[in-house]
Structure formats: structure tokens, C-alpha cells
């Protein structure tokens, strides 16, 4: 079958493309913005990529067009598909129909930590000899690809609450019908489609409704909004994880930055995680992954051992390199809570060294200003911030700069942002680029300038 994937460079749709190619389909695709790491993965698979959404990019003999949720009516490619009567589907529906039948699906949902937790869970199952399939919204470094079919019984999927497509406004995750679901956390996000937190909670409850009674829900026991979701009705056994308290899964921190901790299951210690990741948020992610693996028969001690060799996902506080004594990181920052927890973990690691954040407000919620009041507090662990204030940003970034604890400056272009960093950074600094978009390749350009 010949597929064309619209929005192919997105992390989810790029994974769909990889799976389709593995299943033997002919795959091509197009996107408005094509950049690493997905572009690198797709090119390595020999998938033809076209820039932009011209109707001419869709071959006349295409059997099915898989439409990403970034596209809407009025898009030239979408209008061509409808006018020409070409069969079309969404990425989530294609996955549910072509890959998941007959598999034990484990879904990882939550506002934060989905990609990292999905990667951890896949690696635990892999280390246990399960040879799982997976689709991750990023590129886990243990695997080097964002998706694979796998030959084992289990399939692990990052379960996004964002809407499915222009013709299906349900959250993606309702398509997956998991036997085990992780509910990692729940905060307000996606301001372009959800009017309030209650609307997101309803979608999470739709997911809860699909998990069978002989399955398992792994739930953040510290999250009051998730407790409210379960109070709407729950028909599945629940296990909870938390940093403390009487939940089934808890840690005992052995190092303050979270790089070493004991795992407790129902009060008994089952092993010690000694790994390269940082932060309480990653400790919570690990507990969720261990619990989910246990739900399908992997012993906790085996899961703990696997995490010692876990390597994180690209663009999750990824160290790109060092030059002139300055360490450069690339981080997929999409929400103030994620920004705050990432910087807190780095602060615990580097102590009193200077942290400089270079930030692009890139997600739809960020650009709409839904999180504007929270951005400055989320950057509290940064000593200096260079904020990309593009001309089209519809809200006053000056209030963010004024509210920073450290030094702050706004620049209108990426070129000026890089120039500002080259002028103001010094030996010993840790520079974190934070954006969930391409950022015009700013992290690598800055590192190259340092090296040059």
C-alpha cells in the first residue's frame, strides 16, 4: 500500500511513518517544518520528504493519506485530499487498526513526562527479553528510533491528550484501548483546543473508561486532578506512585538530585536505581514505568536493573557538547512545570554554577499566552535568561523579563539571541536551550560558534 503522511516530521507522525515502512508499505510525506531528530530518522529509513503542503506533493497513486492533527480545513493538501476523494485516516486511528490488534497495549498519558516514561517502560521490557513494540514522541537513545513494531506481546505507546485530527476531535489516546495505562499527571495545557482543565479531565476519563477490569491503572498519587478523574468512575484496579506517603510505589532518595534512589513496593525495598538522569520528576517517571512493567509480569528488581543502563530521550536536557568551558544542552520545554522541574534537576547537579536559559515560547499554549504568568517563576533556577520574543508573539514578554529572579533580556530573532549568548556567557556556564520546536537549530549553531 502507498501512504502519504501529512505532518510527517512531527514526533508522533514520524513514528507512524517508521511503523508503516516496517510493515512493508511505501511511505512518503510532507510537512511545513522538517528538522532533527525526526528528519534524521526518516531520511535514514529512505522515506521521501517534501517541504510544505502543496497538493503536488501527494502522488496520484497514493492509496491512503494519514493526516496529522496540525492540519486543518483550508490547508491546500487537506483540501486536495477531500476534493480528489482520496482515502484518509488519522495517525492514531491507523495505529489502532494496523498495529495494536492482538497486542497487549501499555499507554503512557500525562501532561508531562510521557516521552521519557514511555522510553523507560520500553527499555525495561526490552531488558526483560520481551522485545516490545513501541511508539515514542521522541527518539530514545537506547533504541535510536522513535518506533518499531517489535515481535513480543507488548506494545508501548505514548498516549497524547491532544486532539486526533481535523475530522476527529477526540484525544488521540482514546483510540488505543490499553490494558495498562499510566496517568502521570494532569495540568492545563493545549489552550488552542481545551477551554479549561475540566475539559482535559473529561478526555482522561474517556481513557479510563477504555481500560478493562483485568487491566491496571498506574496513577500519580500526588495529583489531585487525577483523583478527580478517577472519582468520575473507575472500573480497573489502581496502583499509585508518589514521592512519599502510603502509595504502592515510593522512592527513598539516596542522592538529592535523584540520580540514585531505592524503590519501595508496598513498603519493601526492591532495588536501587543508579542512573544518569536528574530530578524528582524523573524519579516519579521511573516509579510509573516500573509499576507498569510489573503489571505485565516483570519483576521490580529486574526493572530497577534495567534503568541503570537507561539513556534518556533526545532533547530531554540532552548534552550537545562543551566548548570554552561552557556546556550546551537542548531541552524540549513545552510547559512551565516542565521548565521548572528540568532546571531544578540541573541546579541540584551543578550546584552554584551559572545556569543560562535560552527560551523560545513555541507550543500553542505558550504562544497564546495561556502560561504567560507562570513562565518567569518557572525560570527561577536560571541565573540568566535570553528570551526569544518574535514579532508575532501576541502578548507582552516584557512582563516575563521583569519578573525574572536572574538577569533577563529579550531578543527578536534567533541570530540576535545567539549573539547575546556569545557575548554574555563565560567559562563554567551551563546553557540550556528550551523549545518544543526547531528553534532554527539555535543550540547547535551556538555550540558551533563557541567551537569556531
pLDDT at 341 over 70: yes
- Of 264, 284, 307, the residue that ends a domain is 307
pLDDT for the residue numbered 180: 98
Q: Are residues 130 and 224 in the same domain?
A: yes
Where does the pLDDT of residue 363 fall: very low under 50, low under 70, confident under 90, or very high at 90 and above? low
pLDDT for the residue numbered 277: 87
- Before 356, cis peptide (omega within 30)? no
pTM score, two decimals?
0.79
More confident residue, 205 or 381: 205
Please choose, from the candidates 167, 171, 166, 146, the residue with its C-alpha nearest in 3D space to the C-alpha of residue 157.
146
Lowest-confidence pick of 103-117, 158-172, 324-338: 324-338
pLDDT for the residue numbered 117: 96
Q: Are residues 261 and 119 in the same domain?
A: yes
* Cβ neighbour number for residue 80 with a 10 Å cutoff: 17
Q: Are residues 85 and 111 in the same domain?
A: no
CA dist., res. 411 & res. 394, Å (int) = 15
Tell me the DSSP string of 85-96. T-EEEEHHHHHH
- Of 91, 122, 140, the residue that ends a domain is 91
Tell me the CATH number at 281: 3.40.1190.10
Which residue in the block uniquely carries the three cell numbers 554574555?
424
Distance (Å) of CA 402 to CA 186, 343, 433: 29, 19, 20
pLDDT for the residue numbered 371: 63
Mean pLDDT of 73-79: 97
pLDDT tens digits along 148-167: 999 999 999 999 998 999 99
Q: Are residues 431 and 388 in the same domain?
A: yes
Phi, psi of 134 (to 5 degrees): -160, 155
Q: Are residues 360 and 426 in the same domain?
A: yes
More confident residue, 435 or 369: 435
**Is there a domain that residue 312 lies in?**
no
CA dist., res. 280 & res. 165, Å (int) = 34
Tell me the pLDDT of the chain averaged across its residues. 91
Q: Are residues 270 and 330 in the same domain?
A: no
pLDDT tens digits along 20-49: 999 999 999 999 987 777 788 888 888 989
Mean pLDDT of 402-420: 86
Q: Which three cell numbers stand for residue 386?
A: 535570553
Tell me the DSSP string of 179-208. SEEEE-------TTT-SSHHHHHHHHHHHH
pLDDT for the residue numbered 337: 80
The 3-state DSSP class for residue 313 equals strand
Q: Are residues 382 and 446 in the same domain?
A: yes
Q: Is the distance from CB of 143 to CB of 115 less than 8 angstroms? A: no
**Is there a domain that residue 430 lies in?**
yes
* Number of domains comprising the chain: 3
pLDDT for the residue numbered 25: 96
Look up residue 7 and give its DSSP letter.
Answer: T
Residues of the chain above pLDDT 70, percent:
96
Burial of 48 (0-12, 13-18, 19+ CB in 10 A): middle
Q: Are residues 155 and 293 in the same domain?
A: yes
CA dist., res. 222 & res. 219, Å (int) = 9
Q: Are residues 193 and 54 in the same domain?
A: no
Tell me the CATH number at 80: 3.40.50.720
pLDDT at 279 over 80: yes
Please choose, from the candidates 405, 335, 351, 397, the residue with its C-alpha nearest in 3D space to the C-alpha of residue 377.
405
pLDDT for the residue numbered 110: 94
Q: Which residue(s) pair with 177 in the sheet?
A: none
pLDDT tens digits along 108-136: 999 888 999 999 999 999 999 999 999 99
**Is there a domain that residue 313 lies in?**
no
Q: Are residues 145 and 283 in the same domain?
A: yes
Q: Which domain holds residue 425?
A: 318-451
- Before 382, cis peptide (omega within 30)? no
More confident residue, 405 or 182: 182
The CA-based angle 12-18-20, given to 5 degrees, is 105
Where does the pLDDT of residue 92 fall: very low under 50, low under 70, confident under 90, or very high at 90 and above? very high
- Of 307, 342, 367, the residue that ends a domain is 307
pLDDT for the residue numbered 377: 84
Q: Are residues 281 and 324 in the same domain?
A: no
Q: Which residue(s) pair with 212 in the sheet?
A: none
Among 189-203, 213-227, 299-313, top mean pLDDT goes to 213-227
pLDDT at 422 over 80: yes
Handedness of CA 69, 71, 77, 80 (dihedral sign): positive
Amino acid at each position: 500500500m502507498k501512504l502519504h503522511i501529512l505532518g510527517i516530521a512531527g514526533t508522533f507522525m514520524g513514528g507512524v511513518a517508521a511503523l508503516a515502512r516496517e510493515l512493508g508499505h511505501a511511505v512518503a510525506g510532507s510537512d511545513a517544518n522538517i528538522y532533527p531528530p525526526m528528519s534524521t530518522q526518516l531520511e535514514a529509513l529512505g522515506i521521501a520528504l517534501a517541504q510544505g503542503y502543496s497538493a503536488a506533493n501527494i502522488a496520484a497513486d497514493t492509496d491512503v493519506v494519514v493526516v496529522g492533527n496540525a492540519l486543518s480545513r483550508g490547508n491546500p493538501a487537506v483540501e486536495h485530499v477531500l476534493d480528489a476523494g482520496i482515502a484518509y485516516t488519522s495517525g492514531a486511528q491507523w495505529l489502532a487498526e494496523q498495529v495494536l490488534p492482538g497486542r497487549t497495549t501499555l499507554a503512557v498519558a500525562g501532561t508531562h513526562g510521557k516521552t521519557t516514561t514511555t522510553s523507560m517502560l520500553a527499555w525495561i521490557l526490552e531488558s526483560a527479553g520481551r522485545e516490545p513494540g513501541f511508539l515514542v514522541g521522541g527518539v530514545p537513545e537506547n533504541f535510536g528510533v522513535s518506533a518499531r513494531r517489535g515481535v513480543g506481546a507488548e506494545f508501548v505507546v505514548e498516549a497524547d491528550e491532544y486532539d486526533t485530527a481535523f475530522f476527529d476531535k477526540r484525544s488521540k489516546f482514546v483510540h488505543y484501548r490499553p490494558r495498562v495505562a499510566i496517568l502521570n499527571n494532569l495540568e492545563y495545557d493545549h489552550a488552542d483546543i481545551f477551554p479549561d482543565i475540566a475539559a482535559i479531565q473529561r478526555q482522561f476519563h474517556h481513557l479510563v473508561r477504555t481500560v478493562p477490569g483485568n487491566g491496571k491503572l498506574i496513577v500519580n498519587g500526588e495529583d489531585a486532578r487525577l483523583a478527580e478523574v478517577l472519582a468520575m468512575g473507575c472500573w480497573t484496579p489502581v496502583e499509585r506512585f508518589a514521592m512519599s506517603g502510603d502509595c504502592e510505589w515510593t522512592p527513598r532518595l539516596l542522592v538529592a538530585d535523584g540520580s540514585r534512589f531505592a524503590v519501595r513496593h508496598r513498603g519493601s525495598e526492591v532495588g536501587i536505581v543508579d542512573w544518569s538522569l536528574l530530578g524528582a520528576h524523573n524519579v516519579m517517571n521511573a516509579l510509573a514505568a516500573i509499576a507498569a512493567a510489573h503489571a505485565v509480569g516483570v519483576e521490580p528488581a529486574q526493572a530497577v536493573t534495567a534503568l541503570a543502563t537507561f539513556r534518556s530521550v533526545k532533547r530531554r536536557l540532552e548534552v550537545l557538547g562543551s566548548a570554552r568551558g561552557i556546556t550546551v544542552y537542548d531541552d524540549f520545554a513545552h510547559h512551565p512545570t516542565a521548565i521548572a522541574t528540568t532546571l531544578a534537576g540541573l541546579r541540584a547537579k551543578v550546584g552554584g554554577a551559572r545556569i543560562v536559559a535560552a527560551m523560545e515560547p513555541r507550543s500553542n499554549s505558550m504562544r497564546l499566552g495561556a502560561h504567560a504568568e507562570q513562565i518567569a517563576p518557572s525560570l527561577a533556577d536560571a541565573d540568566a535568561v535570553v528570551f526569544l520574543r518574535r514579532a508575532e508573539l501576541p502578548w507582552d514578554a516584557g512582563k516575563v523579563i521583569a519578573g525574572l529572579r536572574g538577569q533577563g533580556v529579550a531578543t527578536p530573532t534567533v541570530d540576535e539571541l545567539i549573539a547575546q549568548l556569545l557575548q554574555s556567557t563565560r567559562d563554567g556556564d551551563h546553557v540550556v536551550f528550551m523549545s518544543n520546536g526547531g528553534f532554527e537549530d539555535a543550540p547547535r549553531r551556538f555550540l558551533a560558534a563557541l567551537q569556531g
